[in-house]
Amino acid sequence: MPRSAPLMAGLSRGRFMSFRAVAMTVGAAAVLTACAGGGVTQVRDPIRAVMSADALMFVSFDTDGNLSITREELETGIPREWARADANSDGNLSPIEFQNWSNLVLGGSQMGPYRLDFDRNVDNTITRDEFETEVRGRFSDYDQDSSGALSRSEFVRLLGQARPPTVQRPPPGMPQR
């Protein structure tokens, strides 16, 4: 008695052939998938570098496409970002406006910089001065070689090599300690 006899007992010959064709097709698809994948899982090197979300904003300031952001490009980019962030044009960023801007420009609120990085006097409102002070300060923090321009490599940090903490900048109008 062939091995398929018990199976065929409950199926007509046509239905069995149809079942067999489906089984063969599924088997062939599995074999092709295994072959296409190389059959061996390749081990990938772990990610060893990270980039802060504010780098996304700075990269957008590169108006001449030379892959470097100069102070002049920074000063052109700041008002553009302020206008994008201050959706109601009232001269202040509410927490909701900051959140919307952060989601749009920085890739989300979990990436940083955070609202309180900008709102130095913690009054729940970010003024244009606070915004500009923080963006300029971050530019300076990234400018490792003090060249006045940011190259792509200055945005990348190796894991375990965190960027030094941002210098606590006083609110605009307050003296530096």
pLDDT tens-digit series, residues 24-66 = 565 555 555 555 555 555 677 666 667 778 898 999 999 999 9
Backbone angles phi, psi at 152, to 5 degrees: -60, -40
Give the total residue count for the chain: 177
CA-closest candidate to residue 74, choices 58, 95, 94, 56: 58
User: Looking at the predicted structure, is the pLDDT value of residue 82 above 90?
Assistant: yes
Whole-structure pTM value = 0.63
Which range (9-13, 99-103, 124-128) has the least confidence? 9-13
Is 9 domain-assigned?
Answer: yes
- 67 shares a domain with 107: yes
- 123 shares a domain with 56: yes
Q: What CA dihedral angle connects 94, 110, 135 and 161, to 10 degrees?
A: 160
The 3-state DSSP class for residue 110 equals: coil
Summarize the confidence of residues 94-99 as an average pLDDT.
Answer: 95
Q: Is residue 35 within 8 Å of 94, Cβ to Cβ?
A: no
Summarize the confidence of residues 140-148 as an average pLDDT.
Answer: 93
How many domains in the chain?
Answer: 2
- 74 shares a domain with 20: no
Distance CA 146, CA 154 (A): 11
Distance CA 165, CA 40 (A): 43
- 122 shares a domain with 70: yes
Q: Which residue has the higher pLDDT, 89 or 11?
A: 89
- Cβ neighbors of 69 (< 8 A, separation 6 or more) are 58, 59, 61, 62, 77, 139, 149, 150
The most confident of the ranges 44-48, 101-105, 151-155 is 101-105
- 124 shares a domain with 79: yes
- 53 shares a domain with 15: no
Domain that holds residue 123: 49-158
Band (11; pLDDT cuts 50, 70, 90): very low
Q: Is residue 26 within 8 Å of 19, Cβ to Cβ?
A: no
Token pair, residue 126, equals: 């970010």
- 62 shares a domain with 9: no
Return the pLDDT at 90.
Answer: 98
Band (112; pLDDT cuts 50, 70, 90): confident
